[in-house]
Amino acid sequence: MKRSYLLVAGVAVAGLVAACGDSGTPSQSKPSATAASSAPAQAASAAAPKAVTVDREMLAAFAPLPKEAPNAKNPSTPEKVELGRQLYFDARLSKNHDVSCNTCHDLTKFGVDNKPTSPGHKGQLGTRNSPTVYGAALHFRQFWDGRAEDVEEQATMPITNPVEMAMPDEKRVVETLTSIPQYVEAFKKAFPEDKEPVSLANVGKAIGAFERTLLVRGKWDKYLEGDESALSESEKAGLVAFMEAGCQTCHAGPMLGGQNYQKLGSVRPWGESKDQGRYDHTKVDTDKMLFKTPTLRNIAKTGPYYHDGSIKDLSEATTKMAIHQLGKNLSEQQTRAIVRFLEALTMDAPPAELIKAPEAFPSTDKTPKADPS
């Protein structure tokens, strides 16, 4: 493995930070005319970012965002995706008609609600932070504890969760959807081979098909594909600091995460935690404190952080991860550099047609009423 890039970029990290720092106590003596005339040039030189050279062989741990996230068990069709879009925004999939998928995973807010934990039915709070839906289809499992196989299965589970959308059962879901003629027709088109196309499973398949289109690229993808100008020198220096610290051990692949479970506090104990991660689902002792590694894409926009949303500041979240997962105490300089890189993982603005809520199909007199109980 080549390590030469560390020296070049390590100097750059120091230079970039020093350029923004205090130069010390000014001299009290009067500067000479020569010194005064050269001061602007020296200041400009000091402020200019140092060139950073990154060995591209070191980028093999990562990959650009793919253009598609197919599921062989749920082939995508335009009709299925459009139905999924309609369902994603429809709060009538909740008992009181006030919570939709988009409530907690707001497509205009990078796929989150920026709350520690999300309020659901009757304002009840969940116990875990709502992760971003952008790119979620590329994760190897769904939820922090991985209890759902894919986005299709995941999409069905909040609907009947009493804390989240609180529908009493699948029967109520089907009753609601079949009371609306436009939904009946849309399900027939999306699932033409099914004798009973309106079902909770097909709700999940449709929403999953829509979520599989939520793949929005950014400057990071351009850089990985060879565009050196896509990242600034300070962002490249942050990338080097990120790799030098060993963050890519867990945060790799196209999503920089979402590909494995990691024990929270694997090097230095995390401390007391009521939430035991995957163990709470499996009851297997070795699963205690195991959580799915979150994606770092859009991380600068999707706080607060961790499974419980307990940390608001990205710098603090970064330093704590280094301590507990890597056994390293980052300097302020290293932390600033890494955060600068993390900010570069923000996607471009998504297409308006992708995130705009469609006009809701009108209810009928047969549609179950909102139930706040």
Helix axes 170-178, 200-211, angle to 10 degrees: 70
Distance between CA atoms of residues 73 and 76, nearest Å: 10
CB 257 within 8 A of CB 250: yes
DSSP 292: E
- Asked whether the bond before 351 is cis by omega within 30 degrees of 0, the reply is no
The pair of three-digit structure tokens given for residue 345, joined into one six-digit string: 């993982």
CB 105 within 8 A of CB 112: yes
DSSP 105: S
Check if 79 is active-site.
Answer: no
Contacts of 332 (CB under 8 A, 6+ apart): none
The residue assigned the tokens 């935690």 is: 273
The pair of three-digit structure tokens given for residue 249, joined into one six-digit string: 């051990």
Sign of the torsion angle spanned by Cα atoms 190, 194, 195, 196: negative
Among candidate residues 154, 26, 15, 14, the one with its CA nearest the CA of residue 88: 154
* Selected catalytic residue, list 164, 211, 235, 244: 164
Distance between CA atoms of residues 94 and 254, nearest Å: 33
Distance between CA atoms of residues 230 and 236, nearest Å: 10
Largest CA distance in the chain: 90
- Catalytic residue numbers read 164
